[in-house]
Amino acid sequence: MPSADDHAGFAEELPGKAADLIDEFVDRVHQKVVRPIIIAARAIVFGLLMVSVAILAIVVAAVGAIRLFNVYLFHGHVWASYAIIGAVLFGAGLFVFNKHHQEVEGGLRD
């Protein structure tokens, strides 16, 4: 038969065990739910930041090239600068399209 001391010891351990159980539950929820959400949010934010910086770099490079061609190469004939930059960008687009088309030929196309 349990004595009064056994009940007192159990009552003293109960808050500690409950706190440990709650702490373990919170840690599991954090590892299974919160951490993947945080990682996904970071990936989205850093991806958008990288895309924004890449677009900005391409625009600045194109504007700089047009200004450079206009001032030093064609002496005020802006249409020639636009034609060269347009041809370069068109060629890059054809290259990317060709690579995409080659990859899709072997598989199913969406």
Domain boundaries along the sequence of the chain:
4-105
- Widest distance between CA atoms in the chain: 105
Q: Phi-psi bin for 76: left (phi > 0), alpha (psi -120 to 50), beta? A: left
Tokens of 17: 């065990």
User: What is the SS3 assignment for 107?
Assistant: coil
- Read off φ and ψ for residue 32, nearest 5 degrees: -90, -30
Instruction: Please give the model's pTM, rounded to 2 decimal places.
Output: 0.56
Tokens of 96: 């990317």
CB atoms within 10 A of CB 69: 19
Tens digit of pLDDT at every position of the chain (110 positions): 556 556 666 777 888 888 889 999 999 988 998 899 999 999 999 999 999 999 999 899 988 988 888 888 888 788 898 899 899 989 999 999 988 877 656 555 55
